[in-house]
Structure 1
Amino acid sequence: MFNLPAGFLTTFLKSQLFTKLPCPETPLTDQVIIITGSNVGLGLEAARHFVGLDAAKVILGCRSISKGEAALADIEHSTGRKGVVELWEVDMSNYQSVEAFCARVESEERIDVVVENAGIAVPNYEEVEGTESTIAVNVVATFLMAVLMVPVLRRTAERFSVTPRLVIVASDAHEQASFVEGDSPPGGIFSTMAQNDPKLQPDRYNTSKLLQILVVRELAPLLTRSTSPSQDIIINTLTPGLCHSALMRHAVFPLNVLAAIGKTLLARSTEVGSRTLFSAAVAGRETHGCYMADCVVREPSAYVRSAKGAEVQKRVWKELREILEDVKEGSTSCLKELS
């Protein structure tokens, strides 16, 4: 159930018990921010910080408008700012919904920050868009949204002389991934992950977070245009640590019991955990392509940094890019000139 690498537990406990995360204080005046998975938990608290620190507009990407209405009212009540938050519907388990959401974003004059926080962790195989749901939502839909956001982020950079941020919320769970699919024959990583294999399902969430980090590392050089630095985009990824969020609400015995005990003893509040999202959303170029923990850059797992990890990283991106093009032809064309 747990595949803890050497040193993981010590680092984890130090982070959870002895590391104080800085309170958000960077002003966001004039900025327009999108955050998905924002009607509850970390996303809600991060959105509250964005609004409280003077963002011009904060778009909550929620699976349903009805679920987001309570979040909107809560944020307005706590910050005293009305007319800043907008609710936009996006279902990350439906690629057409992601496309529609991104098409709507194209009409916005500017987008300064996109925080992709929405994600799932399910104990049993569920098929979504022809593949396993965790991979579909946490990887394919997440990076479909990411690449479709690139043109509007570049436009914002050029028009307003700013450096937009694209933040992917990952997890330190990536360090526990067994990722046996990485040994699949050429072209077979995602097809192997699509299979209903009860032995591999417990590793799906960990693997999805590992894939997020690998893809961010691959995308980073594609979003830095040496010939036109005015269009650069900072992309980074992070772990919020163990928090009192609803992520593990579907966990089954014995993980649900262990998770409950672990949260009682060690978990951060959602407000404290959300500080990691805020930190990444305002971070500088030193975080580009990097993994963050406790609001600072930290090395990802040894696997990510290994020669094998580097080789698999390129295979993962090649396969994912083909999948994204199958979902929406031309979706990665914004990267073509740099590849």
Structure 2
Amino acid sequence: MVGSKDLEPSHTKFFPNVFFNNQFRAKPDWPAPGTTLSGKTAIITGGNTGLGYETAVQLLELRISMLVLAVRSPEKGEAAADTLRKQHPGSTIQVWLLDMDSYDSITGFVQRVERSLSRIDMVLLNAGTMKISFTKNKSTGYETMFQVNYLSTMLLTILLLPILKAKGAANDPPPHLTIVNAALSLVAAFPGRSESPLFSYFKDSKHWSREEHYNTSKLLAHAFLWNLTDYVSADDVIVNLADPAWVKGTALARETQGAMKIGLKIFELTGRTPRVGASCFVDAMVNKGKESHGCFLMSWKIHPFAALLYTPEGRSLTKRVWEETLAELEFAGVGAALDGMRV
């Protein structure tokens, strides 16, 4: 099976060309007429707003039977769920607490998933953050975007994998786990890639760069997925990354102020609508099959990973990212979880 790491790296050196094609030339790949998700169960993190909410709308339009919105604010989650319940009374919609800035919240959420759901067909890990200033996770000491967008997301991914394998329906396609990513991963420079240990870079405020920390948090997911497919078979769980491109009307950059806020508002005029942006996630979970396992999806197609990873330095980097990630998260038994996926 050919995945993103088996493709030739992208030779498009001028990122605005990538942006232009992604925003204006690529065409959505909608589910085929008559597609139904009746009887299926989905989980969406960050499902009460933005692209998570729009993805929930589209899955409900496909008549999904059970939907779990995993949110940091139960009050806001219930408000969103109430609206969705009125529009789709035939589906069951539940709101569960999940704070991606807390390892305890993540492990508690996983325990609830294992205890409460009899089947799981698709998971969208959409919850993420973009910060405009350097902030740290109080427990780990890591910069917040690195913590939430990468470490916490990989912890949730690994812990969910054995549950998805066990709770997939026998006669249906394998469960899908889709992680939200970004085309900006392709231009991440990761100035700290020579640090040792690698992740120490994300604890020091002197390295702070809003753009680079965000882009690198997405690049690291490419590096992790490069190795994950050695442990996880597409016959058990299909894992992919999906880029929605630049989308107008989301709350991702809600912390921006002043000139930056004005600039983003103007730039939003070039953005996709939330419906088109979220269709990338629906495509990754509903349309795409085993061929998308271990892949980065951009513009509804399988795309190479960031070009850096195909170089000798990049191959070494993927190994270091993998090893340090597992060491950082071993408190939760991630090594045993991954070894169990090989059985």
**Quick check: TM above 0.5?**
yes
1:67 to 2:76 alignment:
yes
Q: Using a 3 Å threshold, how does the CA distance of structure 1 residues 254 and 173 change in structure 2: closer, same or farther?
A: farther
Cα distance per residue 1:281-337 (max 9 Å; x no partner): 1211111111001111112321133232222011101000011113x2x23312125
Deviation at 1:254, TM superposition (A): 4.7
| Contact 2:44 2:124 (8 Å CA) reproduced | yes
Letter paired with 1:277: F
SS of 1:276's equivalent in the other structure is helix
Question: Over aligned residues, Cα RMSD in angstroms?
Answer: 1.9
State how far apart, in whole Å, the 2-side matches of 1:115 and 1:249 are: 21
State how far apart, in whole Å, the 2-side matches of 1:235 and 1:198 are: 31
Question: Which of residues 168, 191, 196 is equivalent to 1:180?
Answer: 191
Letter paired with 1:317: W
Structure 2's unaligned 5+ residue stretches are 1-11
Cα distance per residue 1:253-285 (max 9 Å; x no partner): 554333222112x10111110000111112111
Question: Which of residues 119, 142, 145 is equivalent to 2:153?
Answer: 142
Q: 1:279-294, aligned counterparts within 5 Å?
A: 279-282=283-286, 283-294=288-299
Deviation at 1:194, TM superposition (A): 1.8
Question: Which of residues 101, 115, 129 is equivalent to 2:109?
Answer: 101
State how far apart, in whole Å, the 1-side matches of 2:114 and 2:219 are: 30
Cα distance per residue 1:107-132 (max 9 Å; x no partner): 21111111100000101111113211
Cα distance per residue 1:60-99 (max 9 Å; x no partner): 0111110112211222333x33442111110101110011
Q: Using a 3 Å threshold, how does the CA distance of structure 1 residues 293 and 212 change in structure 2: closer, same or farther?
A: same
Q: Which residue of 1 aligns with 2:239?
A: 235
State how far apart, in whole Å, the 2-side matches of 1:253 and 1:210 are: 28
Q: Which residue of 1 aligns with 2:121?
A: 112
Q: Using a 3 Å threshold, how does the CA distance of structure 1 residues 257 and 198 change in structure 2: closer, same or farther?
A: farther
Tell me the TM-score normalized by structure 2.
Answer: 0.89
- Stretch moving more, 29-38 or 80-89: 80-89
Letter paired with 1:267: G
Q: 1:198-217, aligned counterparts within 5 Å?
A: 199-217=208-226
Q: Using a 3 Å threshold, how does the CA distance of structure 1 residues 190 and 198 change in structure 2: closer, same or farther?
A: closer
1:334 to 2:341 alignment:
no
- Stretch moving more, 268-277 or 127-136: 127-136
Q: Using a 3 Å threshold, how does the CA distance of structure 1 residues 261 and 189 change in structure 2: closer, same or farther?
A: same
| Contact 2:180 2:241 (8 Å CA) reproduced | yes
- Stretch moving more, 95-104 or 68-77: 68-77
State how far apart, in whole Å, the 1-side matches of 2:178 and 2:170 are: 21
Letter paired with 1:295: W
| Contact 2:134 2:208 (8 Å CA) reproduced | no
Identical aligned residues as a percent: 29
Q: Which residue of 2 aligns with 1:17?
A: 24
Q: Which residue of 1 aligns with 2:203?
A: 194
1:90 to 2:98 alignment:
yes
SS of 1:203's equivalent in the other structure is helix
| Contact 2:193 2:317 (8 Å CA) reproduced | yes
1:8 to 2:19 alignment:
no
State how far apart, in whole Å, the 2-side matches of 1:161 and 1:246 are: 35
Q: Which residue of 2 aligns with 1:277?
A: 281
Letter paired with 2:133: N
| Contact 1:166 1:236 (8 Å CA) reproduced | yes
| Contact 1:125 1:198 (8 Å CA) reproduced | no
Q: Using a 3 Å threshold, how does the CA distance of structure 1 residues 169 and 246 change in structure 2: closer, same or farther?
A: same
- Stretch moving more, 121-130 or 197-206: 197-206
Deviation at 1:170, TM superposition (A): 0.6
Structure 1's unaligned 5+ residue stretches are none
SS of 1:146's equivalent in the other structure is helix
Higher RCO (C-alpha under 8 Å, 6+ residues apart): 2
Letter paired with 1:88: W
Q: Which residue of 2 aligns with 1:314?
A: 319
Cα distance per residue 1:33-74 (max 9 Å; x no partner): 101011111000101111111212010011111011221122
| Contact 2:65 2:91 (8 Å CA) reproduced | no
Q: Which residue of 2 aligns with 1:171?
A: 182
Deviation at 1:252, TM superposition (A): 4.4
| Contact 1:220 1:234 (8 Å CA) reproduced | no
| Contact 2:222 2:306 (8 Å CA) reproduced | no
Deviation at 1:195, TM superposition (A): 1.6
